[in-house]
Chains A and B, each alone.
Chain A
Amino acid sequence: MPAVSKGDGMRGLAVFISDIRNCKSKEAEIKRINKELANIRSKFKGDKALDGYSKKKYVCKLLFIFLLGHDIDFGHMEAVNLLSSNKYTEKQIGYLFISVLVNSNSELIRLINNAIKNDLSSRNPTFMCLALHCIANVGSREMAEAFASEIPRILVAGDTMDSVKQSAALCLLRLYKTSPDLVLMGEWTSRVVHLLNDQHMGVVTAAISLITCLSQKNPDEFKTCVSLAVSRLSRIVSSASTDLQDYTYYFVPAPWLSCKLLRLLQCYPPPEDGAVKGRLVECLETILNKAQEPPKSKKVQHSNAKNAILFEAISLIIHYDSEPNLLVRACNQLGQFLQHRETNLRYLALESMCTLASSEFSHEAVKTHIETVINALKTERDVSVRQRAADLLYAMCDRSNAKQIVAEMLSYLETADYSIREEMVLKVAILAEKYAVDYSWYVDTILNLIRIAGDYVSEEVWYRVIQIVINRDDVQGYAAKTVFEALQAPACHENMVKVGGYILGEFGNLIAGDPRSSPLVQFNLLHSKFHLCSVPTRALLLSAYIKFINLFPETKATIQEVLRCDSQIRNSDVELQQRAVEYLKLSSIASTDVLATVLEEMPPFPERESSILAKLKKKKGPGAVSVTELEDSKREGGELNGGGDRGPDTAAMASTPSPSADLLGIRSAAPVGAAPASAGSLLVDVFSEAGPIAPSAAVNDDGFLRFVCKNNGVLFENQLLQIGIKSEYRQNLGRMYLFYGNKTSVQFASFTTTVSCPGELQSHILSMHLCTKPVEPLVEGGAQIQQVLNIECLTDFSDAPLLNIKFRYGGALQNLTLKLPVTINKFFQPTEMTSSDFFQRWKQLSQPQQEAQKIFKANHSMDTEVLKAKVRQNVTPHSIMYRLTLRCSKDSVSRRLCELLAEQF
């Protein structure tokens, strides 16, 4: 076949490229380019009209300059001119320039679309393909608008050439991906599906990509493609290696088309039609059989092509997950690949087996390869292969092999690549938790993790071990003993100090009987690490110390001395200083009773999805949706199928939304008491009483929470209206003044306000006397009107009354509903009592429902605030969380108050 000579056709271009290549420096290159740009610019601006050849040559030079990385800001018009040339070479350069340097200049787009339109209707297949390729490469919205309806016609027309059909199919795919709303397949659906039967394999190859994409979005409309795909596949698979001539690649018939057919089938469940299904199973068996036949060529291309089909077939088998026989055969085949000399195959086998591990039919078969996989983890040279081995170990792990796998992963961690350590740590932590039969093993594993890879142990991991220890009293003593021992190491990781500080602070008493770990020994051990630690760890240790004072009164003097020294109470770090000062004071003035209450053991954490799992998902997650979905389905599948008795807990995991992987997961923890009925449903109640009303926006309660602790201010403001409030309360009575200000210069007409009490509020909780005459229906521009509400509280309540305002502004009806800031605490009376009285009263309110507790993130920076009512507030070791505990004689009051106050910090 004749070869293309170098730079044939355009001598000037070849000379220019040679010049550039001969430039000795970047500067020389830039100089040469600038010279050329000046030359081209003068040619384009010159009086003489350029002939097509010159135009093509200069546009091509510009393109070359652009591809070298230089900006091009002219020549677009000349390129567009080339589109209307009737010479192929000129047209091609024009289209290439447009495709590479897309420009959203609207004037040009119009001209380009015009040229494309002409070429599409030219009936010249070469020109049609150029135009279609340009649309496929650019794929802009404007092009979709102009051509989305035309291209399906070209695709299915009887007289369209095969090569044009190929381009049209993929061009349409591109437009469908960028502007799905503009590509309406409706009437063409069936004819497009039947392209799977086209005689020309190239047409099928191109069309199937389009069909696959459309099937993913509209599976029902395209489901007839399943039987067509099966019969096409069957014909290919059963053909002899030379039958397909042009489409046979290294003795493999149509490998790419086979893969695409198998992939299309993965958009659907197994065929329902028995005959179709039988034929498909036959195909899959044939593909598996061929893998066992001696190769027809020694070339790697032959085996790659063959295995490309095999792996795609295995994907389909896994997707169906319903043919135990095929699944086990697939697993055996992959097992052979695990020891293959080709790294590619070992890698792919590990990857594919990972999904097989999640099928109940093949999970056991996968497990038989555990030794090989462990060996791969230890010996593979390519880190990505080792990574796949680690993934597979993770996927095949269940109760029967967890100890072995975790041990292997831990030992691998000692030498693992830095890039994968964090993920390995998460995996070990998850497996250890999930398959822990006795929790002492779990504690050992996590402490080992910290020892081996402390830097890679994220907060989630050490938070989690603490959560678990706190929630399981059978392991607390062991945990205390083990961290105590671990802390003996002369150099231990800071994360170990954190876990140690926390656990000894809570449970140090459980090992204090042993003189080798007496309270003072424990304290001295912790304190010996103090000075090497960062501020957050020191803060945690200070909290551990104050807990020690409560656990072991005999350490009080020693600890107070530590707190009292200048490096603590005068520490330049505010957080440390504050803790030292407060803890010192607390320990010196509080009675043992008070201390015991303030420093009581942490309550159990609510059971929830492991935040580590969420972290692992997140780590794998961001990016292509397909990635996340795949990972999730793999993992969830794995959990469902792995072991016998994991049903309920995995169900919970699957249903818990993962993004709440905050600190210890406490932010999303147990909202105490039922949430108030949603604003939406309240609104419905109001309306059902008041009769049909123009639709209104949902209740606006932005201002509401700002008024919990104050009585006057602006409740609401938008561009039209400002509503101010002044209110006063005495015992069970309140009076609220509402000020409505018209901010515009135009009159509001039909201005009406209604106050309503949703639900129970109306009948027996709160009575509202609207003692005003209805407001004036007209509010002049710039004017303000006033309304007075008298309120009487009869008993405690949770919901707030609603204020509805309606008026006409410039003809449009405005409708607004606000929550009036009338809250239970407005009717509180302050009481003076000493701290001992307070705690006595506190203890009397001991019924569980009398207490409401909430742990939440601070919205504002923390400062000490005096709170009314009986409020206890603990700051958790992570200084950005509050724990708010309320006790009231009425449980409904505790709950409501807790909700209201929690929003104030």
Chain B
Amino acid sequence: CIRFILIQNRAGKTRLAKWYMQFDDDEKQKLIEEVHAVVTVRDAKHTNFVEFRNFKIIYRRYAGLYFCICVDVTDNNLAYLEGIHNFVEVLNEYFHNVCELDLVFNFYKVYTVVDEMFLAGEIRETSQTKVLKQLLMLQSLE
């Protein structure tokens, strides 16, 4: 299952951190730095998977942003890799051509998107249509 989700830019600034496991604040900061160090040195010829402590990171780069999911080593790499892409397509639709700034200014909405698609470290909903319909419904509420 998912241990955490991170969205970071190339400079290492965190745009989203979602934790599904107990870590204290110092540990979280350490993880964020380690993930950044591990992921940014890799190029396009590398796999989208990196062993990480006793887990693995499944990541994909979109423009200047790295979307990273930390999962158990026995988890299905490709399913989570496409899980990332599915999530990015939803963000893209929801924010109309999503860019890094959207995630900064609407950070509190990004959490809502995450919770619709991933909950308790598991995949909750995979249908883009259903997720977007729900998000738009919420958007219309006061």
Contact = CB atoms under 8 A, between A and B. Distances in A.
Interface of A: 1-4, 6-7, 14, 17, 21, 60, 63-64, 67, 69, 87-89, 92-93, 96, 99, 126, 133, 136-137, 139, 163, 166-167, 170-171, 173-174, 177, 201-202, 205-206, 209, 245-247, 249, 254-257, 259-260, 263, 301, 304-305, 307-308, 311-312, 343-344, 347-348, 381-382, 384-385, 622-624, 626-627, 630
Contact of B120 (A2, A136, A624): A136
B54 A624 contact: yes
A88 B139 CA distance: 9
Interface of B: 1, 14, 17, 29, 42, 45-51, 53-55, 72-74, 76-79, 81-83, 85-86, 93-97, 101-102, 104-109, 111-112, 115, 119-130, 132, 134, 136-139, 141-142
A89 B54 CA distance: 38
B79 A308 contact: yes
Nearest to B46: A382
A254 B125 CA distance: 11
A171 B134 CA distance: 19
A301 B85 contact: yes
8 contacts: A2-B136, A133-B119, A171-B119, A174-B119, A174-B121, A206-B119, A206-B122, A344-B81
B120 A21 contact: no
A624 B119 contact: no
A167 B82 contact: no
A831 B25 CA distance: 69
A4 B101 CA distance: 12
B78 A311 contact: yes
Given A167-B124, A630-B74, A308 B82 contact: yes
Contacts of A626: 72-74
Given A344-B81, A384-B46, 18 more contacts: A1-B93, A2-B96, A67-B17, A96-B111, A166-B125, A167-B124, A173-B120, A177-B120, A201-B127, A202-B125, A206-B124, A206-B125, A245-B129, A246-B130, A301-B82, A304-B81, A308-B81, A626-B73
Contacts of B74: 626-627, 630
A87 B74 CA distance: 42
Nearest to B135: A4
Nearest to A97: B108
Contact of B79 (A17, A177, A256): A256
Contacts of A384: 46-47, 49-51
- Classify the interface of chain A: helix, strand, loop or mixed: helix
Contact of B123 (A7, A209, A247, A347): A209
A781 to B, nearest CB: 49
**B76, B93, B95, B138, most chain A CB atoms within 10 A:** B76
A255 B79 contact: yes
Contact of B119 (A14, A136, A249): A136
B127 A344 contact: no
A334 to B, nearest CB: 14
A673 B112 CA distance: 68
A210 to B, nearest CB: 8
A382 B79 contact: no
Nearest to A132: B119
Those 6 A-B pairs whose CB atoms lie nearest each other, nearest first: A623-B54, A3-B96, A308-B78, A246-B127, A88-B141, A174-B120
Contacts of B137: 126
Contact of B106 (A6, A63, A343, A385): A6
Contacts, number: 180
Contact of A381 (B45, B94, B112, B119): B45
Contact of A126 (B83, B123, B138): B138
Contacts of A381: 45-46
Contacts of A255: 79, 82, 126
Contacts of A166: 119, 124-125
Contact of B78 (A7, A167, A344, A630): A344
Given A64-B107, A205-B125, A167 B96 contact: no
Contacts of B123: 205-206, 209, 256, 260
A126 B116 CA distance: 11
Given A174-B120, A202-B126, A301-B82, A347 B138 contact: no
Contact of B124 (A170, A177, A305): A170
A92 B79 contact: no
B57 to A, nearest CB: 11
Nearest to B93: A1
B47 A304 contact: no
Given A6-B101, A623-B53, A627-B54, A249 B82 contact: yes
Nearest to A13: B105
Contacts of B104: 17, 21
A246 B129 contact: yes
A627 B82 contact: no
A344 B82 contact: no
B28 to A, nearest CB: 10
A343 B48 CA distance: 9
A14 B105 contact: yes
A630 B105 CA distance: 43
A348 B78 contact: yes
B122 A256 contact: no
Contacts of A2: 96, 136, 139
B125 A627 contact: no
A10 to B, nearest CB: 9
B79 A202 contact: no
Contacts of B81: 304, 308, 344
A304 B78 contact: yes
B132 A1 contact: yes
B106 A7 contact: yes
Contacts of A173: 120, 122
A74 B87 CA distance: 33
B127 A202 contact: yes
Contacts of A87: 141-142
Contacts of A137: 115
B87 to A, nearest CB: 12
**B78, B86, B128, B137, most chain A CB atoms within 10 A:** B78
A206 B127 CA distance: 12
Given A88-B138, A133-B115, A257 B29 contact: no
B124 A347 contact: no
B102 A6 contact: yes
A255 B85 CA distance: 13
A347 B138 CA distance: 41
B120 A344 contact: no
A311 B76 contact: yes
A307 B76 CA distance: 10
A249 B125 CA distance: 13
Nearest to B115: A133
B119 to A, nearest CB: 4
A1 B53 contact: no
Nearest to B83: A256
B125 to A, nearest CB: 5
Contacts of B45: 343, 381-382
Contacts of A69: 29
Given A305-B78, A311-B76, A3 B95 contact: yes
A715 B139 CA distance: 76
Nearest to A343: B47
A3 B109 CA distance: 12
B120 A1 contact: no
Contact of B86 (A88, A136, A249, A257): A249
B69 to A, nearest CB: 13
Contacts of B86: 249
A60 B95 CA distance: 20
B76 A308 contact: yes
Contact of A88 (B94, B105, B122, B142): B142
A624 B125 contact: no
A167 B122 CA distance: 11
Contacts of A256: 79, 82-83, 123, 126
Contacts of A254: 126
Nearest to B48: A344
A307 B78 contact: yes
